[in-house]
Structure 1
């Protein structure tokens, strides 16, 4: 009888092996991958609003995000151990920007800060939905065996409604989490059926819990995606080569023909090339597009709208991509 090997541990490594610098590498990556943070902490959808947000006093908030209800979340990052300056600044940003919550991400958090966060959240919860919740989150980099470096987020302190069952385990999904998961699965399954009836462009399997986007086809650094929200969905071309200068070149090459593309699609697109984010995006939200919370009737019609929009999007951009890859 073969004895199975014991599971290998996640061994911690220096975070700089994954992101050499906090401001130059980690913060832009996190801004571009907020779903990683929200999925690890099971806090619901977060969508990037902006980075390096100016606040009173000449300071700048690392990341401003919005949740599924459109409320602001402040995210402040720091390598090493979180200090008084970052904690107090993050709280002041959250007050000034009328945030629903603030997340302080660091490699570690002092015991006294955890105590402060617990006390803050106790008072915050007394104010109900008007209170500002405070999350202290540890970012850890590591390897499993000889794997490439990976990462994980760990909730160190948070409000009762998000607290972990154990020191390292996530909180169990709530009824709202389960309802969202079911609705999102139904959304992707329904959209995939409509897309599949028109060809093999949609190659992704049914999405799992918390999936806010699905990549349908990729070619080199280019990836076509659906990005769903509660009541809408966008079709998107994402450019991510791993090199900022190359991203700029690819993006600018396509953007130079922007008006021709708009005429071909008979629509105005959103063109995003934020130097603080490590990818570029070109997208639109088609009129009549449905979201995962839309009614069944709205989804039936919305799937057709999204399928038509993605096929036109793909057909319009592929000639440009073929020349660049």
Structure 2
């Protein structure tokens, strides 16, 4: 008889060794999963390490499907007074809709304060800043690679019980999905006209499209006002990811010379795949009016093809 496979908790430092170097960038790339796991709807990252007056920096600034800002502050260990009050100060300074504080654990006293804060906040309606406390956990089954989850421990009552909010959230998700599909349709036509690489790709309802499959995926991501392109190296094996990344990075100078600009090279020591990224300045986003997109789309199309052509001589040999 087979023994049951054990589910074991993993120290998050085994997955993301350093909070600032590993976890915060990973959070920014997976903020939509945070929204999904704790039931607050779709979020997308706008910026990281956002400077605030006084010399402080917010870990992640995100927006929801309605365009409202969310302040996300994360820390290793147990949630403390400093991050608690800092997160609220950031939300006030940046005029955020809500604050999410992510930690490994939250004390009962802070959960009680968050509940009381949200009761007062709800009395101010849409003007009140909501407060969410979430826990980050990593787990593995047997000898598998670690998986993760965010778990909500405190949040405002209207997120839990208001059916109208859930219906509105569902409607906003549908509207965003339709906006994404329309955006990709507008972009893919000129891409297909210029390169056979894109001929089998159809419009998506999500915020990114994979141009290729396999361990090394070329991707295009759309945000509210711009796009970025990237090569994501993710074989689900962190060691293999780093090996592939290092092989490609050995040709960094020649790659960037072919591309014509510097790229952002982001190795990872955890679950997040390694990334080689380029933010396309002047590219359009979901909120860019359809009629104003063509110049930015032309630039994005040329940049995507140039990005692929610069990397592919190296990547294709590894794949």
Q: Return the alpha-carbon distance in structure 2 between the equivalents of residues 216 and 72 of structure 1.
A: 30
Structure 1 residues 171, 143: closer, same or farther in 2, change over 3 A?
Answer: farther
Which residue is equivalent to 2:116?
Answer: 119
* Contact kept in structure 2, 1:18 and 1:141, CA below 8 Å: no
* Contact kept in structure 1, 2:8 and 2:141, CA below 8 Å: no
Which residue is equivalent to 1:272?
Answer: 264
Q: Does 1:214 align with 2:209?
A: yes
Structure 1 residues 226, 97: closer, same or farther in 2, change over 3 A?
Answer: same
Correspondent of 2:306 among 304, 307, 312: 312
* Contact kept in structure 2, 1:74 and 1:99, CA below 8 Å: no
* Contact kept in structure 2, 1:117 and 1:157, CA below 8 Å: yes
Which residue is equivalent to 2:44?
Answer: 46
Which residue is equivalent to 1:101?
Answer: 98
Correspondent of 1:292 among 286, 290, 306: 286
Instruction: Report which of the two has the higher share of helix.
Output: 2
Q: Return the alpha-carbon distance in structure 2 between the equivalents of residues 305 and 52 of structure 1.
A: 27
Which residue is equivalent to 2:32?
Answer: 35
Q: Return the alpha-carbon distance in structure 2 between the equivalents of residues 15 and 130 of structure 1.
A: 38
Q: Return the alpha-carbon distance in structure 1 between the equivalents of residues 289 and 6 of structure 2.
A: 42
Q: Return the alpha-carbon distance in structure 2 between the equivalents of residues 10 and 128 of structure 1.
A: 46
Per the TM alignment, residue 27 of structure 1 is displaced from its structure 2 partner at its CA by 3.7
Q: Return the alpha-carbon distance in structure 1 between the equivalents of residues 254 and 197 of structure 2.
A: 30
Q: Return the alpha-carbon distance in structure 1 between the equivalents of residues 179 and 300 of structure 2.
A: 17
Correspondent of 2:76 among 63, 75, 78: 78
Structure 1 residues 150, 128: closer, same or farther in 2, change over 3 A?
Answer: same
Alignment of structure 1 residues 242-257 onto 2, 5 Å: 242=238, 247=245, 250-251=248-249, 253-255=251-253
Let me know the Cα RMSD of the aligned residues: 4.5
Which residue is equivalent to 1:225?
Answer: 219
Correspondent of 1:138 among 135, 139, 144: 135
How many aligned positions are there? Answer: 301
Q: Return the alpha-carbon distance in structure 2 between the equivalents of residues 129 and 10 of structure 1.
A: 45
Structure 1 residues 88, 272: closer, same or farther in 2, change over 3 A?
Answer: same
Q: Does 1:181 align with 2:170?
A: no
Q: TM-score if structure 2 supplies the norm length?
A: 0.69
Residues 5-47 of structure 1: per-residue CA shift (max 9 Å, x gap): xxx9995623448626462654443244323223434443332
Name stretches of at least 5 consecutive residues in structure 1 with no aligned partner. Answer: 1-7, 263-268
* Contact kept in structure 1, 2:259 and 2:306, CA below 8 Å: no
Q: Return the alpha-carbon distance in structure 2 between the equivalents of residues 55 and 253 of structure 1.
A: 40
